[in-house]
Chain A
């Protein structure tokens, strides 16, 4: 792959960005064709962290396979687990206790905030601003502490299981989440003051990496990438799962389709997540945190598909079952994979420095793409 470096017959320069490059946030390898500073083509080469999770899962039980999914999109580990748990529950037609549903949604939204915070800090760092990273991690650390207390882990939680959640909430959970919300509300304006309003930042984001609504749909973009182009694609609204139909929140949409629109979507989504948690945290019902399931889960013969909204977009879990204790075939439709396919279209004709800005707003997590 690396021998591709050089010049083409037209005099264009071919260079590699990655797989070891701080702005690719992991082992993403882009082969870029440049005319001077202008991008003519961007070609992703994937697979540096490919573990063949789909093949692995074919020999894992329905209790075990959830643990592997935490390693896909490690910033949305809860939501990946949630998708798998929901898919198994759908196949078993299992009723999940209300308490578990509340806990899951609160955890999902905390994850979403933590993920967006990391994105915000890292993206500002891509553009050369170092301070935002510390601000973002200050708040993210609080969420990680809350997670650690209840789930026993900070990143790969494996907290959601078929039928509910693994263990009950820590006694301090509600108190700490409420304290976090209060503190977060007081701090979130700093984000806008520090980065959003900055004129240099706006000049680097506005009009860069334009993606029209038609292209966003055609490329299968989801999540903030699609919503930045004005495509309503929030699974929490389209096909609500657990208690998402009971909470009030807005699906944030922007129609500009540029990097700045995608940036604004994520900033506003953090406010919406706070709103969702605020509605649920005081009313977590008592009762069981897990429905009774058999020790060995066997799904009926058939095909089951579950979609959820992760921090990056739509995650689809497609299970083909032959009635055994392991899935016959499993497919993860990961949001990053489809979002990345639009990158070439987005950045053609822009300068190479803008590629980093545009790629930052895609919020790529490489293990999620490679699986």
Chain B
């Protein structure tokens, strides 16, 4: 499917989304409260079938956080990038680990590195960092005078 066809399909699922034209793939901006239902529709929709979440990450923009989901369809081979804006003080979003199970580990990583709270996640604990680690290392305001070497 081309970008334009994808746009039409996505707008029928959720008319409130907006699009960003830059980049290789179609970028869709979704509100956090719409995300869970929209994700389910992307996965089950017969025309889209986004069954494979190949990248899940977060970007700290200082004023806010952005969750970035890269999706592809193993049937149709079309790609889409979903972006969800989150508050940087108290970020929370619904988990998608029940839709794409790979999200379970990726969300745990984002949880410890950015402090994003994934609601209804089955096992939201630190994965890579030690259990007693304080702070969110991949945030831009993170300071660690001992472990971090400033170049």
Chain A: residues with CB nearer than 8 A to chain B? 1, 45-47, 50, 52, 54-55, 59-60, 90, 215, 217-220, 222, 231-233, 238, 302-305, 307, 314, 316, 318, 320, 328-329, 331, 333, 337-338, 340-341, 345, 370
Contacts and interface: CB of A to CB of B under 8 A. Distances in A.
**Interface residues of A, dominant DSSP:** mixed
Interface in B97-111: 100-102, 104-106
A339 B137 CA distance: 24
Interface size range of chain B in the complex: 20 to 34
A145 to B, nearest CB: 35
Contacts of A231: 74
Contacts of B102: 218-220, 338, 341
Those 7 A-B pairs whose CB atoms lie nearest each other, nearest first? A220-B102, A47-B128, A331-B57, A341-B105, A333-B55, A218-B101, A59-B151
Contacts of B29: none
Contacts of A232: 74
B120 interface: no
Interface in B44-66: 51-55, 57, 59-60
Contacts of B24: 90, 304-305
A331 B150 contact: no
B138 A54 contact: yes
B128 A341 contact: no
A54 B113 CA distance: 11
A232 B131 CA distance: 38
A46 B108 CA distance: 11
Given A217-B51, A302-B23, A238 B77 contact: yes
6 contacts: A50-B128, A220-B54, A305-B24, A305-B25, A328-B59, A331-B55
B55 to A, nearest CB: 4
A59 B60 contact: no
Contacts of A341: 101-102, 104-105
Nearest to A339: B102
B131 A1 contact: yes
A47 B129 contact: yes
B127 interface: yes
B52 A220 contact: yes
A304 B81 CA distance: 11
A318 B128 contact: no
B51 A46 contact: no
Contacts of B148: 55
Contacts of B54: 220, 222, 307, 314, 316, 333
A329 B151 contact: no
B63 to A, nearest CB: 14
B2 interface: no
Contacts of A337: 105-106
Nearest to A60: B151
Contacts of A320: 59
Nearest to A221: B102
A233 B74 contact: yes
B121 interface: no
Nearest to B103: A220
Given A55-B138, A219-B101, A305 B130 contact: no
A230 to B, nearest CB: 11
B90 interface: no
Contacts of A1: 131
Contact of B137 (A55, A219, A307, A340): A55
A220 B70 contact: no
Contact of B150 (A54, A59, A219, A333): A59
A59 B150 CA distance: 8
B22 interface: yes
Interface in B104-151: 104-106, 127-131, 137-138, 142, 148, 150-151
A316 B101 contact: no
Contacts of A60: 151
A91 to B, nearest CB: 10
B59 A329 contact: yes
A338 to B, nearest CB: 5
Contacts of A46: 127-128
Contacts of B131: 1
Contacts of A345: 101
A60 B105 CA distance: 27
